[in-house]
Amino acid sequence: MDYIIEMLGITKEFPGIIANDNITLQLKKGEIHALLGENGAGKSTLMSVLFGLYQPEKGSVKVKGKTVKINGPLDANALGIGMVHQHFKLVHNFTVLQNIILGVETVSGGFLKMEDARKKVLELSERYHLAVNPDAYVSDISVGMQQRIEILKMLYRENEILIFDEPTAVLTPQEIDELMNIMKGLAKEGKSILFITHKLNEIKAVANRCSVLRRGRYIGTVDVKTTEKEKMSEMMVGRKVNFRVEKKAARTKDVVLDVKTLTVHSKQKGNKKALVNEVSFEVKRGEIVSIAGIDGNGQSELVKAITGLIKCDSGSLKFHGEDITKKTIRYRNIHGLSHIPEDRHKHGLVLEYTVQDNLVLQEYFTKKYQKGGFLKRGAIRENAERLIDQYDIRSGQGAITTCRSMSGGNQQKVIIAREIERKPELLVAVQPTRGLDVGAIEFVHKQLIAERDKGSGVLLVSFELDEVMNLSDRILVMYEGEIVASFKPEEVTIQELGLYMAGSKRRKA
């Protein structure tokens, strides 16, 4: 059997952890090969070895039957290997075109030659239905569009082996469907794709074969068509996973959050569009209220206004009957508001801090963790060790691990542990399971329902419609900055919800 890539007996170690333990992976030409595993199972590490970002302690890599040494991404590119990273590697104040040609520029007489590059980018964009504007600045475009630039970077370099590292973690359902079609098109053209994910539906939709890793070890490779999702998830987490969310009927109490005619205008120069337009709703203690909608319809701005990250232009926010419209973020935090943010790197963590310091970010100044202006290091460490155990946060060096070095899913668990542990009156959870595997998703869902049952109000913003349908007691649909419908989950189907989200149906909330 001819394999285009063979990774044989790869072992990669970091301080305190064997990330890859004697792993073998073989990719056929023209196939989409999924790499499935829990958060921290070693998937990204293995792909980083293939891309030359890490050197393995043991094992070898073969490309087209020849053993090769890959010292860095330039070597990988020369061998035809390209990678779309989980967190994109783009220069925000460059244009799309500048980002695509960065590192492989054509220069003549000391000047950049952009005409040929532009032509080639437009041709590739059309051929693969990527529809990008080469002159747009990266800072102004959506996450889904940024991902297309990463794909174009690989195509521009004429890579034949394409690595997609969790490519759907930050996309909307519509963008995911488009990406799946792009991937199938690339495979048809003879490109070979390694696809890292822990979403079983996506593997079923596009992959030919699937290799499973668990805690750094290789478990096996299966044929996707003939293998049930349940079997794959069991290989991945080592136990049966319950895909149904178990919950009792909600027992609601008094109103914890009362939003009245809240309006937020765009902050861009010359654009005074209302991103949130006179939105009103309530969240009671003891219920989960979900906001469903396609990304970019004002959900982010609404959450930022509620949590204090941005000021609202008009309207009011009442928390337990107290007007908090002009209160600081800290005031909201210490009075019982917790926030699992959409962007874990920007608003959720200080990446250079350790796990233990990230776990006390909103409480380090309280008597529990400081005395006379000095931090109580023992109490901070104790708190971290308890939460690491309780939330199954996996890392190389436990409480003193730097957050930047952890897998995305485990970073997410640090945030969830910190925010729930503060026993909030209101928990605002935005995409709380983004980038988590099925075992961790099941755990987070149980935590959210437990918070509801303890009498907290939960405001959930999610683009995963299954999550919205399974967890919610009420669903509000947001379209173009307005709430266009309100349902109980049993009153609506996913298809109907999709119509409201796309703006083709409305009913008074």
- Give which of 168, 176, 233 is closest to 435, Cα–Cα: 168
What's the pLDDT tens digit per position in 259-290? 999 999 887 766 678 889 899 999 999 999 99
Q: Which domains does the chain have, with CATH numbers?
A: 3-237 (3.40.50.300), 250-336+423-509 (3.40.50.300), 351-422 (no CATH)
Per-residue pLDDT, averaged over 226-238, amounts to: 86
Helix (H, G, I), strand (E, B) or coil at 9: strand
pLDDT of residue 507: 66
pLDDT of residue 270: 65
DSSP secondary structure string for all residues of 227-292: S-HHHHHHHHHSS----SPP-PPP---SEEEEEEEEEEE--STT---EEEEEEEEEEETT-EEEEE
Residue 460 and residue 287 in contact, taking contact as beta carbons nearer than 8 Å: no
R_g over Cα of the chain:
24
Instruction: Indicate the range of 232-236, 430-434, 503-507 predicted with least confidence.
Output: 503-507
What's the pLDDT tens digit per position in 97-121? 888 888 777 777 777 778 888 888 8
Which residues have a Cβ under 8 Å from the Cβ of 302 and sit 6 or more positions away? 262, 264, 276, 279, 291, 478
Hunting for tokens 């136990």 — which residue is that?
239
pLDDT band, very low/low/confident/very high, at 1 (cuts 50, 70, 90): low
112 has which bridge partners?
A: 107
From CA 323, how far away is CA 333, in angstroms rounded? 14
User: Which residue did the predictor score with more confidence, 154 or 359?
Assistant: 359
Above 70 in pLDDT, residue 477?
yes
Instruction: Share the mean pLDDT of the chain.
Output: 88
pLDDT of residue 338: 95
Residue 497 and residue 475 in contact, taking contact as beta carbons nearer than 8 Å: yes
pLDDT of residue 62: 92
pLDDT of residue 168: 77
Half-sphere exposure of 480 (CA within 13 A, CB side): 7
pLDDT of residue 156: 85
User: Which residue did the predictor score with more confidence, 127 or 171?
Assistant: 127
Above 60 in pLDDT, residue 508?
no
pTM for the whole structure? 0.71
pLDDT of residue 392: 87
- Give which of 465, 433, 461, 437 is closest to 447, Cα–Cα: 433
Would you tell me the crossing angle of helices 173-188 and 143-156 to the nearest 10 degrees? 10
What's the pLDDT tens digit per position in 425-471? 999 999 998 777 788 888 889 999 999 999 999 999 998 888 899 89
